[in-house]
Structure 1
Amino acid sequence: MLSAKLILTVLAFIAISSAAPSPEAGLAPRVSAAITVCTGSLNPSQGCLEIPVVSDACINFIGGLTFFNKEVSSSKIPGGFVCTFFEDFGCSTDDGVALLTGGSWNMEEVEGLAGIENFNDLTSSISCSPV
């Protein structure tokens, strides 16, 4: 004869197992996208840092990111995103702006408001969003 304790343990296990979400339910963990900015080259990597993409948030190169203020020479944008690199803090469009889509970029030749521009060592803030 089965003990009451064994029966309760089996029932508890079944209840917990059936309550856990499955990957098929669309609740699989998601990995956050990140852009890479470098004070040197992307390959080989020189002075690079990955920055998580927070959609439509302005990221100023201040505090722990001060090292990158007016020093970004190359970048890598994940597919499906567009990032705007701003010459000023606060993602202000008062001065220069570079618009980058998914791919690797040398900041000496990027798409600006007036066509291809040299945006090397000009970035003070960035903002990214999904395409």
Structure 2
Amino acid sequence: MFFQSLLAITLIAVASAAPSNMERSADATTTVTLCTGSVSPPQGCIAVPFVSGSCLDLSQGGFNFLNKEISGAVVPGGFICTFFENAGCIASGTGKSNQNSEVVLTQGTWNLAAAPGLSGTENFNDLTSSITCSPL
């Protein structure tokens, strides 16, 4: 009986640890690298954890040194991040220099001086005040 119980527990543990093809959880977490200088070679870079759908407001709290200072970012695969010019992850339409007030980045290494905006490539260097990331 002991052996059968041990075998059952072992099988359950192995099955629960096996990877699955299920969709990502809505509360998935990731780490995005944000840089005040170059991404490659890294200058002033820090790995910042994100909880899916949460707004990281750079105008307050522990990351305020990044407010209006981000020049580059590395977004991991399977995630999409929106960088906002305004605090509170609020898009206001057009921001500085008649550009859009946000840029949306997917997997990759990004130079924010040439970021993909809603109207084409935009210079979003040193404009970010808040960020949100979610799984694709």
Shared fold (TM-score, shorter chain, > 0.5)? yes
1:108 to 84, 93, 113: 113
1:35 aligns with 2:29: no
* CA deviation string 1:15-38 (max 9, x = no partner): 57753652432467xx95211100
Question: Aligned in 2, Cα 1:32/1:128: closer, same or farther, shift over 3 Å?
Answer: closer
Q: Say which is worse superposed, 76-85 or 51-60, in terms of deviation.
A: 51-60
Question: Aligned in 2, Cα 1:14/1:66: closer, same or farther, shift over 3 Å?
Answer: farther
Percent of aligned pairs sharing the same letter: 45
1:19 to 5, 9, 34: 9
- Structure 1 unaligned spans of 5+: 1-10
Residues paired across the two proteins, number: 119
1:52 maps to: 49
Cα RMSD after superposing both structures: 2.3
TM-score (norm 1): 0.79
**Deviant stretches of 4+, over 3 Å:** 13-21
Q: Distance in 2 between matches of 1:123 and 1:73?
A: 9
Q: Between the two structures, name the one with larger relative contact order (CA 8 Å, sep ≥ 6).
A: 2
- Structure 2 unaligned spans of 5+: 20-27, 96-100
1:5 maps to: none
